[in-house]
Amino acid sequence: MGYLGGIEGGGTKFVCGIGTPDGNIIDRVSFPTTQPEETLEQVFGYFADKQIDALGIGSFGPIDPNPSSPTYGYVTSTPKPGWSNCNVLGALKERFQVPIGFDLDVNVAALGEATLGAARELSGCLYMTVGTGVGAGLVANGRIVNGLTHPEMGHILVRRHPDDDFAGNCPFHGDCLEGLAAGPALERRWGVKGAELPADHKAWELEAEYLSQAFMTIILTMMPPKIILGGGVSKQTHLFPIIRRRVLELLNGYVVLPQILEDIDSYIVPPGLGDNAGLTGSILLAKQALAGR
């Protein structure tokens, strides 16, 4: 088996790379996500002289990940201008005559973390990214878990913090998790980007509260072997102790598992692969596509 190609197709930037079947990244490049035609031409240009046996792409969503659907491989109802109902997989298949795996970006990042990252010795994990949006993917027994479509955990409802009067930033639901906790919500609420806020700013108390509520819900509904928090917010390392403590308070002893009660510092963690979780996962998705999975 030779090289495999990977694409982390984010709403802000695309990352393309090639790697080996064991997930080792050999080369990578990134460029801004603009209009579909321009962005995909850059993807085509990068892989034009690469000898790859298969390709995997984790795309921003919403997408259609169902192979039996007529819109399989499409970015569907995204608010990102120009990308709604874009047949991303079809465009790639026209250009590259190799097996291609296609799924949601956070699902693919979860696959990377479950296989080679922070959950590599476990049966799976829940990976949540908090950046431009909020999304989460679940891997169980080495496989990405989808249902009718991919999960949309970024839009679950959370209880409003009593000191928070921000209306929320989600165009669909207002004060859902993404509407209160994603990067644009932070910027709109406080007037500056989250990265510019000091560690002792009140913003982080609210952020930790909403993420803790989400993790409580995820634990109670899915019981993942590990929760991995990625995206821009994961760079705010001071959040992790606050979130762990608050999750224990919210669960209030109901879940009697040593992984949570006794070792929560190892249960809710940043990505083991750092910023390479998505690209690594897309290369592993290419490996699955080559194997016919």
Provide the pLDDT for residue 80.
86
Domain 118-269 has CATH 3.30.420.40: yes
Where in the sequence of the chain do the CATH 3.30.420.40 domains occur? 3-105+277-290, 118-269
Provide the pLDDT for residue 1.
61
Provide the pLDDT for residue 77.
87
pTM value is: 0.95
Provide the pLDDT for residue 2.
85
Superfamily of domain 3-105+277-290: ATPase, nucleotide binding domain (3.30.420.40)
Per-residue tokens: 131 = 């950046």
Q: Do the strands 52-59 and 74-75 form a parallel or antiparallel pair, or are they unpaired?
A: unpaired
Can you give the pLDDT of all 293 residues of the chain as single tens digits?
Answer: 689 999 999 988 999 999 999 999 999 999 999 999 999 999 999 999 999 999 999 999 999 999 999 999 999 988 788 999 999 999 999 999 999 999 999 999 999 999 999 999 999 999 999 998 999 999 999 999 999 999 999 999 999 999 999 999 999 999 999 999 999 999 999 999 999 999 999 999 999 999 999 999 999 999 999 999 999 988 999 999 999 999 999 999 999 999 999 999 999 999 999 999 999 999 999 999 999 87
Nearest-angstrom CA–CA distance, 230 and 293: 26
| Residues 6 or more apart whose Cβ sits within 8 Å of residue 80 | 11, 33, 60
Q: Do the strands 268-269 and 227-230 form a parallel or antiparallel pair, or are they unpaired?
A: parallel
Could you tell me the CA-to-CA distances from 69 to 3, 88, 155 in Å, in that order? 29, 14, 24
Provide the pLDDT for residue 238.
96
Helix, strand and coil in the chain, % to nearest 5: 40, 25, 40
| Residues 6 or more apart whose Cβ sits within 8 Å of residue 271 | 109, 113, 117, 118, 127, 228, 229, 230, 234, 277
Element (H, E) at 200: none
